[in-house]
């Protein structure tokens, strides 16, 4: 480039010496090309605005979604070509992302899409966006990095319980209350003659008309149970050869159980001895306590499911806090939940004895082993009412299809 700038100066010198219009025109043109255009374009690129158009993304494995960023030329002058590429983590890039090239006239904007394919649970950060701007003649190219990161959550895979080889007995829905205090207005059990003290709004008018005596609705008395899902992510408990597979299965099992429980109307809490990835810091998670255990207070509804899935998206194993710590802490917190769901890679003697201790404290405990071996087969296939049961979570063949 310096060579051409030097030649431009020579052309100007020739014009000054020989004083001819053609020489002047030639020198001006050279100066415009090799000095003016470069400087001008540098100035002009300040008028380029790059922004992301896609709001925060959450995907399930196998899902595809398009993310878009917009390049806007705020000036009135055109750009010959601009190429832009969003840096997408490998686990999110379905195919090799193709660089987009476009020409941008003055006061115009272009949207550059990229397809994300969620394959692996995790928290991913898109960006920075790399932008190259070139001129019409191949004189210079400018490169910019737009640091506008975007977090993409890939939730763990949620299976139907059957696909994990689990029966509906593994989870519980609303149960019939022992004390008939709370009638459930959504569950009509029948009608009965009206007695003194029955509220007027429970009158069943069609039945009253038919029988010619006051009849009231009789509701079922149910209570929603409070459950707690405990996930063991102590690295030492997982087989080193199958660490990844077992972790993912445990996390998916936890996610599937959470979905099933919350769908059935139960209030679900969550505790795990894992660590959250740093990239998850931006997400809003209402964790309780500040110890090494990640804990969510029991709640109902979709919002709670989203919270749990968000944690599960970014949770990783660790080796400092054992699962026994969670169980010991739980036995101290009496009355926080009635049902405990333990998702563990192996049913070690310590865990089972702790579970038995919890049962003695009045809990019902279901253990889900996301591993290949069961060390306590006596606890398998027990009656539905048994307070301590073990289930094996195993992905059924073709479950992903």
Partner 1 sequence: MIKRFLPFGAALASFCLVSLTGQYAALFVQGWSFSSWLYPLLFTAALESSYFAAYFLTPQVPLLGRVLELSLFLSPLYFLSAGSKALAVESLLVGGAWLLARGYGRQFAEMEIKSAYLSDYPPSAINWEYESLESKGYGAGPAVEYFWRRFFAFGSGAVVLAIIAERSNFVLDSLTRVRLGVLTTGSLFCLLVLQTGAYLFRLQILWEYAQAKIQPGLSRIWLKSLSVFLVVALLAVNAAPVNYSPFSLEKIGPRLAGFLQRILEGPALKREAGSDFPAAAGGPGFLPPPSEAEPSWWIAVILLIYLLSAGGIVLIFFLILLGFLIVEFSKKELGGLRGLPKLAVRVFKALKRVWQKLTGAAWAEPEENVFSPRPAGVKEEFLFSRLRFSSWPEPRNIRAQFRRMVRLGRKKGVSFRADHTAGEYGFCLQKKLKEGKNNIALFIAGYHRVRYGRDRLGPNEQSKIMALGSDLIKEIKNLGKEE
For 289, other C-beta atoms within 10 Å of its C-beta total 11
Cα first-last separation, the chain: 58
Q: Which of residues 103-132 bind partner 1 (CB under 8 A)?
A: 103, 105, 110, 119, 132
Q: How far is the CB of 161 from partner 1 (least distance, A)?
A: 18
* Per CB under 8 A, 286 contacts partner 1: no
Q: Which is nearer to partner 1, 130 or 184 (CB)?
A: 130
Q: Which is nearer to partner 1, 83 or 277 (CB)?
A: 83
Q: What residue has token string 């990640």?
A: 294
Q: How far is the CB of 22 from partner 1 (least distance, A)?
A: 4
β-strands 129-134, 79-86 pairing: antiparallel
Which tokens belong to 316? 């990783």
User: Is residue 50 within 8 Å of 148, Cβ to Cβ?
Assistant: yes
Q: How far is the CB of 256 from partner 1 (least distance, A)?
A: 18
Cβ partners under 8 Å of residue 268, min gap 6: 226, 227, 228, 229, 258, 261, 262, 298, 299, 300, 304, 308
* Per CB under 8 A, 1 contacts partner 1: yes
Of the candidate residues 42, 180, 263, 400, the single one contacting partner 1 (CB under 8 A): 400
Q: Which is nearer to partner 1, 37 or 374 (CB)?
A: 37
Of the candidate residues 35, 60, 81, 144, the single one contacting partner 1 (CB under 8 A): 81
* Per CB under 8 A, 219 contacts partner 1: no
Task: Determine the interface stretch with partner 1 among 27-35, 260-268, 305-313, 366-374 (rule: CB under 8 A).
Answer: 27-35
Q: How far is the CB of 48 from partner 1 (least distance, A)?
A: 15
* Per CB under 8 A, 179 contacts partner 1: no
Which tokens belong to 30? 């050279």
Cβ partners under 8 Å of residue 384, min gap 6: 169
Cβ partners under 8 Å of residue 369, min gap 6: 344, 345, 346, 347, 390, 391, 392, 393
Q: Which of residues 47-66 bind partner 1 (CB under 8 A)?
A: 62
DSSP string over 233-280: -BGGGS-STTHHHHHHHHHHHHHHHHHHHHHTT-EEEEEES-EE-GGG
Phi-psi region of 265 (alpha: psi -120 to 50; beta: other; left: phi over 0): left
Q: Which is nearer to partner 1, 24 or 219 (CB)?
A: 24
* Per CB under 8 A, 201 contacts partner 1: no
Task: Determine the interface stretch with partner 1 among 26-34, 144-152, 252-260, 362-370 (rule: CB under 8 A).
Answer: 26-34
Smallest CA-to-CA distance from 128 within 153, 148, 112 is with 148
Instruction: Name the site residues for partner 1 (rule: CB under 8 A).
Output: 1, 4, 7, 11, 14-26, 28-30, 32, 38, 62, 78-81, 83, 94-96, 98-103, 105, 110, 119, 132, 134-141, 143, 397-398, 400-401
């Amino acid at each position: 480039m310096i060579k051409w700038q030097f030649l431009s100066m020579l052309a100007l010198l020739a014009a000054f010496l020989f004083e001819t219009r053609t020489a002047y025109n030639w020198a001006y043109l050279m100066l415009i090309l090799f000095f003016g255009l470069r400087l001008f374009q540098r100035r002009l690129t300040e008028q380029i605005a790059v922004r992301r158009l896609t709001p925060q993304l959450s995907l399930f494995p196998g899902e595809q979604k398009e993310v878009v960023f917009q390049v806007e030329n705020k000036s009135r002058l055109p750009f010959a070509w601009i190429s832009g590429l969003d840096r997408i983590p490998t686990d999110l890039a379905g195919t090799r992302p193709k660089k987009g090239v476009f020409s941008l006239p003055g006061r115009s904007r272009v949207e550059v899409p990229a397809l994300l394919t969620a394959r692996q649970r995790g928290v991913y950060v898109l960006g920075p966006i790399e932008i190259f701007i070139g001129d019409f003649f191949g004189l210079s190219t400018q490169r910019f990095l737009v640091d506008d990161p975007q977090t993409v959550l890939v939730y763990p895979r949620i299976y139907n319980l059957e696909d994990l080889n689990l029966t509906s007995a593994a989870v519980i829905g609303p149960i019939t209350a022992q004390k008939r205090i709370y009638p459930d207005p959504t569950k009509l059990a029948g009608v009965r003659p009206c007695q003194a003290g029955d509220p007027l709004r429970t009158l069943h008018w069609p039945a009253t008309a038919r029988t010619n005596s006051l009849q009231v609705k009789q509701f079922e008395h149910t209570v929603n149970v409070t459950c707690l899902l405990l996930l063991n992510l102590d690295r030492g408990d997982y087989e080193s050869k199958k660490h990844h597979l077992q972790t993912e299965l445990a996390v998916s099992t936890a996610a599937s159980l959470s979905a099933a429980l919350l769908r059935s109307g139960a209030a679900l809490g969550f505790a795990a001895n894992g660590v959250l990835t740093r990239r998850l810091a931006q997400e809003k998670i209402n964790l309780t306590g500040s110890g090494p255990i990640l804990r969510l207070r029991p709640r109902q509804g979709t919002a709670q499911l989203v919270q749990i899935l968000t944690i599960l998206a970014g949770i990783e194993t660790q080796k400092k806090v054992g699962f026994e710590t969670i169980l010991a802490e739980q036995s101290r917190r009496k009355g926080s939940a009635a049902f405990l769901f333990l998702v563990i890679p192996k049913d070690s003697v310590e865990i089972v004895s702790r579970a038995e201790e919890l049962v003695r404290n009045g809990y019902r405990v279901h253990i889900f082993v996301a591993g290949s071996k069961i060390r306590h087969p006596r606890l398998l296939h027990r009656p539905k009412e048994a307070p301590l049961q073990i289930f094996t979570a195993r992905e059924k063949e073709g479950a992903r299809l």
